[in-house]
Every structure is written in C-alpha cells, then in structure tokens.
Amino acid sequence: MRWPSTEFLVFLVVSLVLYGAIGVSLYLYVKGKIGPRFWTFFAFAGVLFGWAGHFSPFTGQSPSFILRAYNYGLAGWLAVGVLSALMLVLAVAGVYAAYLWGSVSGRRINQHTADKVL
C-alpha cells in the first residue's frame, strides 16, 4: 500500500479547513453571532489566499500554468475565467461587507448619540 502524495495531503487539509470554516461561519451567521465585520475579514483573507496561490509571482500554479495544463484549449481559458471571476466576486463581497460594517457602525454611533440627546 502506498501513502498519498504530499500534494494530495496538502490539498485535502486545505480543503477541509476552508470548507469547515465556511460551514461554521454560515452557521454562526444564521445564529446571529457574527456579522459584516467578520465577512469583511473573511472575504479579504480569501482574496489574499487566492492571490498567493494563483496570481503572486512566487506561485507554482499561475494562470499560465493552468492554461498550459489544458494545452491552451477552451477548458483552460474557462478555468482561468472561473478563477478570475471567483476572485472578483470575493473582492466585491468583501467591499460590500465593509460597506455594511460601516453602515452598522454608523447607526450604532447615531443611536448612541440620539440616546444621549434624549
């Protein structure tokens, strides 16, 4: 019997951690324990993780590597397009969560000020 490769084990551990974190986060969000501030940090951490894994100059799986893996065919372009779209959606979600975080903070400050005035 042969042990799985190191790459497979890294992929497995990273996948379990990411999907576990997403699952626990969604559960806590539904229960009202976390809000926009958490999602702001979570989204931008995802963008940084994606950038480090695929777009940084030090990565082994750059978009050109992905295209070469598919012999520059349609599937390769689709894979790079999906990756880019995912990164864009994560960035937009992070910006929106930051906006919500700011609006919630502003309402709390205004409410606090209104309570003092009244």
pLDDT tens across 11-49, in order? 899 899 999 999 999 999 999 999 999 999 999 999 999
pLDDT classification of 116: cutoffs 50, 70, 90:
very low
Judge whether 101 and 44 are in contact, CB under 8 Å. Answer: no
CA-to-CA distance for 116 and 118, rounded, in angstroms? 6
Judge whether 85 and 31 are in contact, CB under 8 Å. Answer: no
pLDDT digits 0-9 by tens, 52-96: 999 999 898 999 999 999 999 999 999 999 999 999 999 999 999
Q: Kindly state the average pLDDT of the residues 92-115.
A: 76
CA-to-CA distance for 71 and 4, rounded, in angstroms? 27
Report the percentage of the chain scoring pLDDT > 70.
Answer: 88
Q: How far is CA 86 from the centre of its chain?
A: 9
Nearest to 45 by CA among 87, 102, 101: 87
DSSP state letter for 55 = I
